[in-house]
A and B are shown apart, each in its own frame.
Chain A
């Protein structure tokens, strides 16, 4: 089955630690996106990539970094510079159309 796989489902981060969230898709989609979801704030765009080896900042990129070395993979690193990282993180992909396919998300908690 084609889809987007996000891992892990739950992740705990200690203060000052960098953590990486995985996003893999087998849909052969060109564009990939990372969104952050907080209660009452909807989904906010962190980073996006339209092609391999190219990515752009979204609305809330500070404290995050990404890479796009393969078409299938778009990992997100939450750095220690992100002061409030506790949230639900969603990865999505898109082919030539306008609709997104989302993964099941990673819930990150600072401990």
Chain B
């Protein structure tokens, strides 16, 4: 049972563009929604996270938008750069399950010159 659905599977944008990656969840008990960035051969690194009491959070060029009623959240990367080329994972957890993270299937982003 996949509880976090992520799309698209892959994405190509030009430098300076704004890639958007979307995730939808089913479990209304989720209360923590992080995004991770992974480069080839490396472990994922936490980028930014949001809780459902806010609709948007920005950190540098990365923004999470959150829609609680639709049970959806998305990652926007402003002024994307070739160095942003990586795989991005959304995830979710709830406090009653030892904060186990349930991950989406990942989006491979390529930023071209």
Task: Give the interface segment out of B36-44, B54-62, B73-81.
Answer: B36-44
**Inside 8 A of B36's CB, which chain A residues have their CB?**
102
B98 near A100 (CB under 8 angstroms)? no
Complex CA distance for A22 and B87, rounded to whole angstroms: 25
B49 near A99 (CB under 8 angstroms)? yes
Q: How would residues 83 to 113 of chain B score, 1 for a CB under 8 Å from any chain A CB and 0 otherwise?
A: 0000001000100001111111110000000
Does any Cβ of B come within 8 Å of A103's Cβ? yes
A56-B98, A99-B34 given; A90·B43 CB < 8 A: yes
**Inside 8 A of A42's CB, which chain B residues have their CB?**
6, 89, 103-106
List the A residue with the shortest CB-CB distance to B44.
A102
Counting chain B CB atoms within 10 Å of each CB, the highest count among A6, A40, A100, A105 belongs to A100
A40-B105, A45-B100 given; A98·B43 CB < 8 A: no
Chain B interface residue count, Cβ-Cβ cutoff 8 angstroms: 23
B44 near A90 (CB under 8 angstroms)? yes
Contact of B100 among A58, A99, A102 (CB under 8 A): A58
**Inside 8 A of A103's CB, which chain B residues have their CB?**
43
Complex CA distance for A101 and B101, rounded to whole angstroms: 12
A48 near B106 (CB under 8 angstroms)? no
Complex CA distance for A72 and B63, rounded to whole angstroms: 34
**Inside 8 A of A40's CB, which chain B residues have their CB?**
9, 105-106
Does any Cβ of A come within 8 Å of B45's Cβ? yes
A31 near B103 (CB under 8 angstroms)? no
Question: Would you list the 6 A-B pairs with minimal beta carbon distance, nearest first?
Answer: A102-B43, A42-B103, A42-B105, A43-B103, A98-B32, A99-B46
